[in-house]
Amino acid sequence: MAEVIRMPLLSDTMTEGKIVAWNKKVGDKVKADDVLADVETDKATMEVNGYVDGTLLYIGVPAGEAAKINQIIAIVGKEGEDYKGLLDGEEAVSSEESAVGKEQLAVGKPATTNSQPVTVSLPDGAKEIRMPLLSDTMTEGKIVAWNKKVGDAVKADDVLADVETDKATMEVVGYEEGTLLYIGVEAGQAAKINQIIAIVGKPGTDVAAYVAAEKAIDSAAGTTESVQTTDDGEQTTKQTTDNGPQTTVAQPETNNPQPVTPADGRIKASPLAKKIAAEKGLDITKVQGTGDGGRIVKSDIEGYKEQTTDNGQQTTAVKPVTPNSEPVTLNTQLGTESHTDVPLTQMRKVIARRLGESMFTAPHFYLTMELNMDNAMAARTAINEVSPVKVSFNDMIIKACAAALRLHPDVNSSWMGDFIRKNNHIHIGSALALPEGLIVPVIKFADQKSLSQIAADAKELYAKAKDKKLQPVEFSGNTFTISNLGMMDIEEFTAIINPPDSCILAVGKIKETVVSRNGKFETANVMKVTLSCDHRSVDGAVGAAFLQTLKKFVENPVTMLV
């Protein structure tokens, strides 16, 4: 039966996708893992797979044109199959959806002209608690723990739950008084922004009907499930929503996966696989296929082992023949392939999304310079003899960057799409590595602070970040970022720009190096820094001039203290 291919949701803010190019044409054979088309979204150009085998019967959106989310862009089926009924049905559904209204279409409700939306009101006195927006980049929050249980009395200032965002673990306050009537997201699960996570109201209030109605609306998007078998015999359930994306849920692995044999008894195998099996004298019906639909390929035959040990480990029987001797069997036990899937934290999800967007959206270029750190090392020793807080080299770099940015405002800028924003204030982010990923605490107004003030602020922010107690105001608003890996013995590296900044400075280790001075060889302590620049807002000469000024401040620290 022919299958429709719809425009999938390829980013969280995507409303339509532009077909950049079709990689197949009508009449071509396609496999489930073939890339049918390249699609330009609001974030990047991405690949669209059909996830079905067959012949490409229909292309609904020509290259260069855009398709709405969930719109039919292609149909795949058997060669010569009549697919027009699918398009007629689509037009009928679209017409009915238009008549019923855009709201039903948005939530994916079945559109029928005779049905009326079912509305259930929240009982009097009951209040919803929804997942709040706890950071500027947050799309969902994971409930780490509930501090109250259903039936508990809660006050307006009670902390109901601890929520892990992409930045830190934060407290959620309900701001409502009453009894906790309902918890919608269990601990360990994530909730989208504005999703209902709890309901508070008068004791004994029945909210079951309201909750059921909300769930019905959520599930009205419609999901279809199909059980498939992976190459290693593990069953998976593919759920396809009306929005297009597919998710795979792993099911318990069967104890004894068997080769997949079609109902007609025909063994699916490539001609080369059949030839090699015949040459080896193998019974091909015993071979587990790893190709599309369980198809047996060359590697399956070559990797097939006739014998197994008592504990199920595969063995290879090797029988070298020597003169005047019987064949010798050498049993070699093979290792077991394995892997561990690590669930993504909210922080890691946003790191992947934002840095991916930065790297493939902002045209990066890199400028590297060596700084002589002899005077800076001597100055730091003298400063720490009188400073109330220990000053690190990173604190000195923050101060030097702040002073240099004051003289080079073009570097202290942000690309805004239609204009460039030159920031008059200087907020410097200092990237910090945590087990969950990177976070960037921000030193506000760094150019107006002394070295000891910068050191104190940085120490406090780093401690909060490690305890996951940073507040949104403390990790947002950066206009320039520093990433320092010198303490990990990294001599030189490049960093990805941290939006909305135009630049990020990568700082390496201080290394004793032989240098030539006045015709003599001497040793000097040298540190390499690399400035990553967004070429849309910062040109090469601008970035180079900034580094020259930074070099002067670092190599003669007294100049940045006056």
Catalytic residues, which ones?
535, 539
Element (H, E) at 105: helix 102-107
As a 3-state breakdown, the chain gives helix, strand, coil percent values, each rounded to 5, of 25, 30, 45
Do 163 and 499 form a contact (C-beta atoms < 8 A)? no
Output the furthest CA–CA distance in the chain (Å, rounded): 96
First to last CA, the chain: 78
Token pair of 254, please? Answer: 């069967």
Q: Are strands 153-154 and 235-241 parallel, antiparallel or unpaired?
A: unpaired
Report the SS3 class of residue 417: coil
Eight-class DSSP state of 474:
G
Radius of gyration of the chain (CA): 31
| CB hemisphere CA count around 384 (13 angstroms) | 13
Task: Provide the β-strand partners of residue 543.
Answer: none
- Alpha carbon of residue 283 to chain centroid: 45
Q: Give the number of other CB atoms < 10 A from CB of residue 132.
A: 16
Angle between helices 374-384 and 393-407 (to 10 degrees): 110
- Nearest residue to 28 (alpha-carbon basis) of 54, 50, 2, 60: 54
Is the CA virtual torsion 317, 321, 327, 330 positive or negative? negative
- Alpha carbon of residue 559 to chain centroid: 43
Q: Which of 90-99's residues contact partners 24+ apart within 8 Å by CB, and which partners?
A: 90/4
Report the SS3 class of residue 267: coil
Q: Which of 381-390's residues contact partners 24+ apart within 8 Å by CB, and which partners?
A: 383/451, 387/451, 387/452, 387/455, 388/452, 388/456, 389/452, 389/455, 389/456, 389/459, 390/455
Q: Residue 92, exposed/middle/buried by CB under 10 A (0-12, 13-18, 19+)?
A: exposed
Do 315 and 308 form a contact (C-beta atoms < 8 A)? yes
Is the CA virtual torsion 293, 61, 4, 108 positive or negative? positive
Q: CA 330 to CA 240: how far, in whole Å?
A: 49
For residue 62, say if its preceding peptide bond is cis, omega within 30 degrees of 0: no
Task: Provide the β-strand partners of residue 296.
Answer: 269
- Nearest residue to 502 (alpha-carbon basis) of 426, 400, 411, 408: 411
The values of phi and psi at residue 204, to 5°, are: 85, -5
